[in-house]
Amino acid sequence: MSYGSEFHATKDPKTTGREVPRPGERGEGETVTAKSTARGPGEASIAAARKLCAPAALAMVVALGTLSIAALAPRCAAGSALRFDCLANSAGCPEVVIEGDPWPEIPGLGPSPFRGYGDPSIRKAPNGNRLWLSYSFLSLHTEPGDPSIVEGTVGIHLASSDDGGETWQFRRKLWRPRTLSDPAPPGGAGISAHEVSSLTPWISGSRVRWFGMQFQYFIPFGPEGRRPNSMHFRVRRARRPVKLGRPPEARLGGQLTDPVWQLDVNLSTLDPSLAPCSIWTEPSLFGQEGRLFLVAQCLIYDVASGKRRPKQEFVGVFVTEGTGPVDRFDWRWLGKLTTSSDAKTLKGAVLTQAEVTTSRDGSLLLLVTPKRLKPRERHRGCRALELASLDPPRLRRDDAGKPIVRADIRSPDSTGLGPGLCSYDPASSTGILFVRTEIDEVLPEVIFRLHETGIHP
């Protein structure tokens, strides 16, 4: 998601005149099929729902007090999908509050200008009703000096719910930002950033283990921004999610990751077709039938020019058995899951923040955020796609070869980096979790807001 480089200042945060490099832009007014200002079918309009998939005859299914389209979707015309707008201050997509983990404040001045929750990953425990949620937590780090340096950074926090997602309680910090010197050239002091975490239970026979993964990189103090040669994944395993905050861990990266970061696996070397993948980003883990799947986005940069090649990029799938020490896992390449043509179909230049999950009918889903790259990077909401299988990696497609979309969630009033960054578990009353961003270039302010939509694809 790239939070860390979105806020940097060389003045104390209580002063004015700070700057936010590459702040994004105001939201576009995107036309959607229907809007909802109420959570749950009791306040939803069946007439509006009928418009979603016209001219097909539709049925609205009420499941556990929220709107479900698990049965509705097969009756929709090809290419149709449930459309939903998540708007600011809407009763239809209330903001998620995590008790015990308030947004950071500056003493005597109020809320930090860099704050919020992002990149959710929600999973139900297989041996109970508890829901677990890992998420990115935005905060500021002030480095003393003359002048002092204020740097925005991100850590990974963990929360849980024992009432089906109605309320959430903070449990612990899993990965914390820390100051360090970059071990790779050109060196220098800075701070680590940790974002786009993923949780999954893994079951083999009677054994249950939890895996957690996050995307990590180094931000030097100053206006430079995050360093691509530090980007890599870190994965841990534990008996319970609250234990994932402890090492040991494995490091996975790509061609551009500097060797000083001591990778255990260079994912770009696992198959000749992956050699162009400069950076792997936006990881998602999924446990199925005793195996651990990793879904990630391949970023490709031309070696000679340094230019990005988005038309060659894709979301791909790796797998391991999940046994033995995590730093010795035998990761294998399974294949591409999406292509640039899929991104174009879904109104993006690339597809990012992929997550594998299941619907209430038990079928596999792939959540993705289409992303525009020009004139400025902007996320364009969230799409829930039907997933045929992980091995081999294959989306369900219509007769024209296009991905079948179950749900399409957007936020026309979201500013800055745009909306998206979704997660879903069928056991949670929240439905799809969705992130809206707000960036004010005058104050300046960078805010990420986590919302529940009540949408069950």
pLDDT digit string, tens, across residues 361-382: 999 999 999 999 999 999 999 9
CA dist 411 and 419 (Å) reads 6
- Give the percent of the chain with pLDDT over 70: 82
Q: Where are the domains of the chain?
A: 4-456
Cβ pair 72, 143 in contact under 8 A: no
Tell me the per-residue pLDDT of 381-416, one tens digit each, with 9 for 90 and over.
Answer: 999 999 999 999 999 999 999 999 999 999 999 988
**What token pair was written down for 297?**
């986005």
Tell me the per-residue pLDDT of 307-365, one tens digit each, with 9 for 90 and over.
Answer: 999 999 999 999 999 999 999 999 999 999 999 999 999 999 999 999 999 999 999 99
State the CB neighbour count (10 A cutoff) for residue 267. 25
Tell me the per-residue pLDDT of 413-428, one tens digit each, with 9 for 90 and over.
Answer: 998 889 999 999 999 9
Mean pLDDT of the chain: 85
pLDDT of residue 331: 98
pLDDT of residue 4: 46
Q: Which residues contact 128 (CB under 8 A, 6 or more apart)?
A: none
Cβ pair 158, 29 in contact under 8 A: no
User: What are the φ/ψ torsions at residue 427 (nearest 5 degrees)?
Assistant: -85, -10
For residue 35, is pLDDT > 90?
Answer: no
Tell me the per-residue pLDDT of 169-211, one tens digit each, with 9 for 90 and over.
Answer: 999 999 999 999 999 999 999 999 999 999 999 999 889 999 9
Tell me the per-residue pLDDT of 61-74, one tens digit each, with 9 for 90 and over.
Answer: 222 233 433 333 33
Q: Which residues contact 206 (CB under 8 A, 6 or more apart)?
A: none
For residue 36, is pLDDT > 50?
Answer: no
Strands (E), 50-204: 61-63, 66-68, 82-85, 98-99, 105-106, 110-111, 114-124, 131-143, 149-161, 168-175, 179-181, 189-204
Cβ pair 251, 175 in contact under 8 A: no
Class of domain 4-456: mainly beta
Tell me the per-residue pLDDT of 224-271, one tens digit each, with 9 for 90 and over.
Answer: 999 999 999 999 999 999 999 988 999 999 999 999 999 999 999 999
Average pLDDT over residues 138-156: 86
Among the ranges given (45-59, 80-94, 297-311), the one the predictor scored with the smallest mean pLDDT: 45-59
- Classify the C-alpha dihedral 190-231-312-317 as positive or negative: negative
- Give the percent of the chain with pLDDT over 90: 71
pLDDT of residue 145: 78
For residue 152, is pLDDT > 80?
Answer: yes
> Would strands 149-161 and 168-175 be described as parallel, antiparallel, or unpaired?
antiparallel
Q: Omega before 392 cis (within 30°)?
A: yes
For residue 18, is pLDDT > 90?
Answer: no
Cβ pair 444, 113 in contact under 8 A: yes
CA dist 415 and 378 (Å) reads 9
Cβ pair 247, 236 in contact under 8 A: yes
pLDDT of residue 107: 83
For residue 442, is pLDDT > 60?
Answer: yes
Any idea which residue has 């003493």 for tokens?
107
Any idea which residue has 């979105």 for tokens?
6
